[in-house]
Structure 1
Amino acid sequence: MFGYVTVCEPELKMKDFRKYRSYYCGLCQELKEKYGFSGQMTLTYDMTFAIILLTSLYETETKTEQRRCKVHPVKKQTMRRNEITEYTADMNLLLAYYHLEDDWADEKKPAALAGKGVLRKKADRIIRKYPRQSRVIKKALRGIRKCEKENCMDLDRVSGYFGRMMAELFVYKKDVWEKTLRRIGFFLGKFIYLMDAYDDLEEDRKKHCYNPFIRICEEEDFEERIRGILCMMIAECSAEFEKLPCLLDVDILRNILYDGVWNRYRLIQMKKQEGKEQDHVKESV
């Protein structure tokens, strides 16, 4: 369900893209050092956005280092890390663990059981360290599972669970910025959930799987409605972001919020257009 909150590389200056990559590589290295290869496997671009946002807001001291890795064994990669990176790595692994736990409870997938077993001890330490976030994540995923079992078509309800989960993760500490960070996480979380549902719609229809868009996807104005809903979520998220006194890496953050989050949507539209053109050619022949 993750991987939608990324940069739009063509619209980003090269120096900013390199810096973005260095935060991403820093998170990867943090996961490796704390949790090994299994931790690295949980890496997501979405958490990189959280690192950059919280680092900018709190002006956290960041260390830069050059390291080789398995993906880049020849050339050393720049890696940026700080206390936010450590927090985000913990949240990244916790999300992965609860997702596997949810998959096992819901569908009894053997892979989920195996993955859950690998991460259990690591996740237990994080749960003890961050009980607030852990409690909300578990409750939110339980709510989503309940919606799926009920075949709930209430978009606000089902996406709201994911939104509340992300809202809790963005609250690094309870302070004057808590309310704004919660709202950023909440609307970004709803966007991620709805974009993922839209992305999976055709496959879910073929497999007769749950998807909150199933009931309205045949309606004439479906595409227009979906874009409107997604735009509303990002507009609310961006409006809250602009309230924060972020100066460091603000161009990267705005690139993500105003452009990068639409990468997947543009790709979906491109594929749909190609499908229509192919159908038109077949009809002509």
Structure 2
Amino acid sequence: MYGYIRFYKAQLSAPDYERYKSVYCSLCHALADNFGQLPRFMLSYDLTFMVLLAEALTVFPQAGDALWQPERCLEHFGKKTAVAHHWSFLDYAANISVLLAEQKLLDDQTDKEHLLRTFGVKRLFQGTFRQAANNYPEIAAEIKAGMLNFNRLESLYRHNYKNIESLLPAGVQAACAEQIKQVLAPLLSCCPAAYNCTLAFAAVIGKIFRCLPLLPLQVPPTDRVELTTAVKKQLLSPCLEVIGIYLGAWIYLIDALDDLSDDLRHQQYNILLLSEKGNLIRQNYERKLLRLQQLPLLQRRQKHPAGKTLYRDKSQEELTEPQKQIADLLHTAQTILHNLQALLDQSLILLPWQRDAALIAAIIQEGLPTTLLRCNFKQRYQFDLLQLASTPSIDLPS
């Protein structure tokens, strides 16, 4: 995954931070228990949130606190952290981490990015990937089929997006909730490729969340527990799928938005630029990108005296036409991300929390907007430098 569903320490209380760290370390130990030490590098914040979600919805015995045992970790200089082992959703998340890492390598191989490193890592973890697929064959097959469809969509749009009207399979359309289609509707007018690819990627994450096991422990066979088990299997799986779809759409769009300025500068692929407006943005900024690369970093800093705000909101009258196009694209993406976060917040409120509801709410209500704010700041920084590079008063070296 991409690591965008994350926490910020300043936004959490001390007990919530310790709880999150315990879940994070538990997933790290689950990777080691299932696959050895090297696959620990596949740990991500996104799947830690999935484990935290499953743990918060799981009915534990009364002695649930005894399941967390303090253990030392070399990464934290031998400091003890409460860790749990061999829960079904921990093992599930560890295997999903490996399966998604394999898909990431295949995607890099298709894009011809870091080919030597990709080939080496793929050979090194070939047995690990095969073991994860054997452990969960059904979800592994669904992830593989979903990512193949997603990669096919991206490849077709990348080469000839104009002649593609609707390539999204009917199964993906049926799996995604109507709310997310309404939220993503602005993409249909400015970038249809982003709409279809976002739904395709979100459907894969939705399937992963739908298969999330919620009862990893043997509990006393009372009528109440049996009823709870039946209710969770019948009702919570579709709810978790919808939450996974919202999260998948948010992750895909924030990743595209986060890479937008870098992809513009290096003239690389970005789903948000696969449109008529995107092509126009590329053409208008091609010369300025070249000037920016020639502009020394020291000279950039000297043009912004101390105390001057580097970024300020400009009215539409102050913007040039290329700047308006960039502003419209950023505004559309950010509005969609805000709406997706609102949908996530509304969906999570309805779940039967057993614990950690405040921690999960903090990640969604405060963590996601902070990530978006940091991403927005990065885009403003890059585009402000583009504007600086096009200023006639700057004498660039020949």
TM-score by length of 1: 0.90
2:152 maps to what in 1?
146
Contact kept in structure 2, 1:197 and 1:211, CA below 8 Å:
yes
1:240 maps to what in 2?
347
Contact kept in structure 2, 1:7 and 1:252, CA below 8 Å:
no
CA distance in 1, matches of 2:209, 2:15: 26
2:125 is paired with a residue of what secondary structure?
helix
The reply to whether residue 122 of structure 1 matches residue 128 of structure 2 is yes
Contact kept in structure 2, 1:155 and 1:212, CA below 8 Å:
yes
The Cα shift of 1:144 comes to 2.7
1:41 is paired with a residue of what secondary structure?
helix
- 1:136-285 mapped onto 2 (5 Å cutoff): 136-150=142-156, 151=158, 152=161, 153=191, 154-171=193-210, 172-173=212-213, 175-214=234-273, 215=275, 216=277, 218=281, 219=325, 220-274=327-381
CA distance in 1, matches of 2:200, 2:381: 34
The Cα shift of 1:116 comes to 1.8
- Counterpart of 2:372, as a letter, is Y
261-270 or 85-94, larger mean C-alpha shift:
261-270
CA distance in 1, matches of 2:103, 2:381: 37
Deviation digits for residues 134-188 of structure 1 (CA, Å, limit 9, x no counterpart)? 1221122222322332225422210112111111111215532111110000110
Task: Decide whether aligned partners of structure 1 residues 205 and 276 sit closer, same or farther in structure 2, where only a CA change above 3 A counts.
Answer: closer
Deviation digits for residues 73-93 of structure 1 (CA, Å, limit 9, x no counterpart)? 232223244322111111111
- Counterpart of 1:157, as a letter, is N
Contact kept in structure 2, 1:148 and 1:210, CA below 8 Å:
no
1:98 is paired with a residue of what secondary structure?
helix
1:244 is paired with a residue of what secondary structure?
coil
CA distance in 2, matches of 1:41, 1:27: 11
CA distance in 2, matches of 1:76, 1:146: 46
Task: Decide whether aligned partners of structure 1 residues 258 and 101 sit closer, same or farther in structure 2, where only a CA change above 3 A counts.
Answer: same
2:100 maps to what in 1?
95
Structure 2: runs of 5+ lacking an equivalent: 162-190, 214-232, 282-324
- 1:71-90 mapped onto 2 (5 Å cutoff): 71-81=75-85, 82-90=87-95
2:234 is paired with a residue of what secondary structure?
coil
Identity of aligned residues (%): 25
44-53 or 224-233, larger mean C-alpha shift:
224-233
Deviation digits for residues 190-215 of structure 1 (CA, Å, limit 9, x no counterpart)? 11001000001111222322211113
1:38 maps to what in 2?
38
Task: Decide whether aligned partners of structure 1 residues 73 and 132 sit closer, same or farther in structure 2, where only a CA change above 3 A counts.
Answer: same
Bigger Cα Rg? 2
Contact kept in structure 1, 2:261 and 2:379, CA below 8 Å:
no
CA distance in 2, matches of 1:274, 1:191: 22
The Cα shift of 1:7 comes to 1.5
CA distance in 1, matches of 2:383, 2:111: 36
Contact kept in structure 2, 1:101 and 1:113, CA below 8 Å:
no
Structure 1: runs of 5+ lacking an equivalent: none
1:59 is paired with a residue of what secondary structure?
coil
Kindly report structure 1 stretches of 4+ aligned residues shifted beyond 3 Å.
215-218, 271-285
TM-score by length of 2: 0.66
1:7 is paired with a residue of what secondary structure?
coil
